[in-house]
Amino acid sequence: MTAVVALLGALLAVGALLVVAGAVPREAETEIRAAGPRRGLRQCWAAVTRRPVGAAGRRRDARWLAALLGGVVAYALTGWVVWLAIVPLAVIALPYLLADPPAPTIEQLSALDRWVHSLVATLPTGRSIGDAIRMSRRTGPALLAPHIEQVVRRLDQRWTVRDALREMSDGLAVPEADAVLAALGLAAHRGGTGATATLEALSASIQQTLAALREIEAERAKPRIVVRQVTAITLGMLAIALLFGRDFFAPYATPVGQLLLLGLVAAYLGSLAMMRRLTRPRARQRILTGALS
């Protein structure tokens, strides 16, 4: 009977890991896309669990294995089947839920501002918008380099400047980038008239937006810091209590108590997930949704 219960607990832990893997957004392409139509066990595992490519995937697999082993060890020490689910779920979910959400908008705007400054320095020399963009390919920010390179290739393929910039705006999908690229497209259509003054004004606006976004991100980070501290203190106190005050947790040794403990852990992780969702930057509405005109 004990073996059956342990097996059910292990299956529950694996199921929890798969749920977490499905909930976490994929950061990179999996190895399965590089493989052929015939997939082995490793490729199937990468596809089902959304395993990142390379060293990141190996680190994630090692962390998952350590989480499963930790659950087995906790079960062996206490006899509580629920540890087979709680330990892996906590080890996998807590680092993700307590980490700072990525802020790609701030990085994009910073790179966009540097690119605008390089264009402002180039345009007064008498070069056209297309030539200025070609020159910025060598000095542009690394974050925008693929987009600038794509624009240059399209210009070489006889695309108009407006159409090439329109495609670049779809790739960046940032309202400030829409404003900059729309201004460049209109200036190119009108022979470059007023481009420098417009870009300087847009650069000042981008810098103001950047300052506001950084301040907002700093305020959003404050509750996450508090929650990290509370979580660390709680886990530490629970570990000490489990070691030196086992009688206090005796009710949780029963089947009903273990289900109650699992529910409490799930509720806490759910509250962390809600907090992360509330503190994530919201998608802003773009201003360039039609053709440049």
pLDDT for 13: 52
pLDDT for 261: 87
> Is the pLDDT assigned to residue 194 strictly greater than 80?
no
pLDDT for 245: 73
Average pLDDT, integer, range 5-19: 50
pLDDT for 50: 65
pLDDT for 31: 40
Neighbours of 186 (CB within 10 A): 19
Average pLDDT, integer, range 122-148: 85
pLDDT for 208: 92
> Is the pLDDT assigned to residue 277 strictly greater than 60?
yes
Q: What share of the chain is helix, strand, coil (3-state, %, to 5)?
A: 80, 0, 20
In the block, residue with structure tokens 């960046």: 172
Average pLDDT, integer, range 88-100: 86
Q: How far is CA 236 from CA 71, 231, 243, 253, in A?
A: 17, 8, 11, 20
pLDDT tier for residue 51 given thresholds of 50, 70 and 90: low
Most confident of 34-48, 103-117, 270-284: 103-117
DSSP 3-state of 290: coil
Cα gap 269→266, rounded to integer Å: 5
Average pLDDT, integer, range 188-209: 84
List the domain boundaries for the chain.
Answer: 1-99, 100-293
Lowest mean pLDDT among 36-40, 165-169, 242-246: 36-40
Average pLDDT, integer, range 212-224: 87
> Is the pLDDT assigned to residue 21 strictly greater than 70?
no
Asked if residue 153 lies in contact with residue 239, where contact means CB atoms within 8 angstroms, the answer is: no
> Is the pLDDT assigned to residue 120 strictly greater than 80?
yes
Q: Which residue has the higher pLDDT, 192 or 82?
A: 82
Q: What is the DSSP letter of 180?
A: H
Cα gap 212→207, rounded to integer Å: 9
> Is the pLDDT assigned to residue 30 strictly greater than 70?
no
| Environment class of 222 (CB within 10 Å of its CB; exposed 0-12, middle 13-18, buried 19+) | exposed
Non-local (6+) Cβ contacts of 12 within 8 A are 84, 85
Q: Buried b / exposed e across 24-43, counting CB within 10 Å, b at 16+?
A: eeeeeebbbeeeeeeeeeeb
> Is the pLDDT assigned to residue 115 strictly greater than 80?
yes
Query: pTM here?
Result: 0.65
Average pLDDT, integer, range 216-235: 87
> Is the pLDDT assigned to residue 12 strictly greater than 80?
no
Cα gap 241→259, rounded to integer Å: 20
> Is the pLDDT assigned to residue 191 strictly greater than 60?
yes
pLDDT for 114: 92
